[in-house]
Structure 1
Amino acid sequence: MECAIAERVRRAYPDLMHPRLATSLMIRTAEGRKILRSFVREYIAIAKGADLPIVIGTPTWRLDQLRSAEEHIADDLNAKAVEFERAFKTDYSNIIVAGQLGCKNDCYKPEEALSTPDAYEFHSWQTERLTGADFLYGVTLPAVGEALGIARAMAETGRPYIISFCIGKDGRILDGTTLEDAIDNIDSKTKRPPTGYGVNCCYPSFLQSSELTGNAARRMISIQANASSLSHNELDASDTLKSDPVEDWQRGMLALHQNPGLKMLGGCCGTTGEHLNALTAPE
């Protein structure tokens, strides 16, 4: 999977990072599209050089109905974002486009998460507008209740989808739920369960493979990991970019590829092409 793009934009081009819509508006300008393409093509080149498929995500993490209305976005920017990413398939045919959306509120504050019914109602609007992607991808989810509502909305589209959680150093979702309980809950309460589950915005060591048992071990398929092993609170309070040695990050990621067998490996906050290169390097 790709490594960070929004965080790299935030650091290198802070004026282009919208305070409420993140990188979504960048596809509207020539400058914004050029910058996004440069990051995406960097990651595609690494995948192509290693003869591996790559997942790239749409810049739609915060492009929900409420924010779109409040920012007076009249056009279907979600669909345009999907088209923008699908155009990279002309560069490399082995690209899989993920239609991304996040939780409504702060992804580090599970107490702000929506209830399941409210999440279904809130997120259905956006899931319906991302169906041109190869799969739907709910990311940085801090609470199971909202994740279940998103899963139900995604299930109704008929598209494949993945639910990915924010976890803490203890390996639990930020609302305190274990991954095993969360997966069992969502699998049993959706008419069409997710293709699989993932974690993101965490360090590789946060996902404690030795504690993943039963259905959780079988259903976990992806991780997009931070470059730093600091907690979310520590990272959120930092004014400077934090990163552990890339070699440590690489070892942790490859260990998760071996056990429990995660197939989709990529980066989140603080990661760059150096991290993606490390994943493709010979062991």
Structure 2
Amino acid sequence: MALHRDSIPQINGGVFLDYAGMETEIIFSKGMELPGFASYPLLETKDGRKMLAEYMRAFIEVGKSQGAGVIIESPTWLANRDRAAPLGYSPKDLAALNRSAIELVSKVRSEAGDLPTIICGIIGPRDDAYAPTEQMTAKEAETYHAEQVNVLAETEADIIGGYTVAYPAEAIGMVQAIKNTGMPAMISFTVETNGRLPTGETLGEAIEAVDAATDCYASYFMINCAHPDHFVDILSDEPWMQRLRGIMANASRCSHAELDEATELDDGDPVELGQQLAEIHGNHSQISILGGCCGTDMRHIDQIAKSAITN
């Protein structure tokens, strides 16, 4: 059961699962190469599309078994001009692949029956998500990301989400580009081991800056690609916290720099991760989108759902 776009801001009424750990599992567990950490090239082959669909179906089955809604993310995180150019993809190629990604997600969603589902068309950072070497202005980011956003806005995606965003100006540009299309928007920031963005801002400062510049257009904000230990101490009762609705946590406690150098997968402790996210959900009920990022798989998602729903 797909949710209408107008329902997106209301998804905090119940637990929704989210998942973005596929790439690390493919690389480390399946022993496959993903040049540039990009998963969208898998859309070009029958076997690749089958693999992507299998991940989505497994994710949906966890949602069904635990009685939680699901947000299915498109494999388009790095399907933007600058990140794709070194892999040989033209803007025309990228437009076709972004459309193909949502078509695949829509097909899998049609098999989900009555399970509440949301399709999120993902966009990602122009530069390194963990250590951007050059920061854009908000206007530059709006112009840059509009290319991918405009394509996704013409698909069956329910919402467009900017993931692993490292600094406020890029997030502002992303939201403005999405706003121009009339689609719902979401921003997910990444934080370092000190709970701050890679560029030094606090999470609260970043959320407030985006809201101030975009008239609070984003439906909600999230944290992704960080372990709960890295940010649990910054979660408070301040007003900006009501805008934080979701967490997609890393399995590993390692820093981003350490993860970049890792030669083995650190999949942490699925039970512990589930308990940590359930505790956060219990203490901050508006944080009802829970899931896994780097190092996680369906074991983690299952434990997150079990712990959060029974908490």
Partner in structure 2 of residue 84 of structure 1: 104
Partner in structure 1 of residue 152 of structure 2: 130
Partner in structure 2 of residue 275 of structure 1: 300
* 1:5 matches 2:19: no
1:38-76: per-residue Cα shift (whole Å, max 9, x none)? 211111111011222101111111111345564236342
CA distance in 2, matches of 1:77, 1:234: 31
CA distance in 2, matches of 1:264, 1:52: 10
C-alpha RMSD over aligned residues: 1.9
CA distance in 1, matches of 2:62, 2:28: 22
CA distance in 1, matches of 2:216, 2:195: 26
Contact 2:274 / 2:305 at 8 angstroms: preserved in 1? no
Rate the CA distance shift 1:210–1:68 in 2: closer, same or farther, 3 A: closer
1:72 corresponds, among 69, 90, 98, to 90
Q: TM-score, normalised by structure 2?
A: 0.85
Partner in structure 1 of residue 210 of structure 2: 186
Amino acid at match of 1:78: N
* 1:98 matches 2:98: no
CA distance in 1, matches of 2:30, 2:37: 15
Identity in percent = 28
Contact 1:184 / 1:215 at 8 angstroms: preserved in 2? no
1:121-162: per-residue Cα shift (whole Å, max 9, x none)? 110110111122110110011111111111111111111111
CA distance in 2, matches of 1:192, 1:83: 30
CA displacement at 1:110 relative to structure 2: 3.4
Rate the CA distance shift 1:123–1:210 in 2: closer, same or farther, 3 A: closer
2:175 corresponds, among 132, 148, 151, to 151
1:85-144: per-residue Cα shift (whole Å, max 9, x none)? 011122214221110011001101034332222211110110111122110110011111
Consecutive unaligned residues of structure 1, counting only runs of 5 or more, are none
Amino acid at match of 1:95: T
By relative contact order (CA 8 Å, sep 6+), the higher-ranking structure is 2
Q: Secondary structure at the match of 2:92?
A: coil
CA displacement at 1:243 relative to structure 2: 2.8
CA displacement at 1:265 relative to structure 2: 0.5
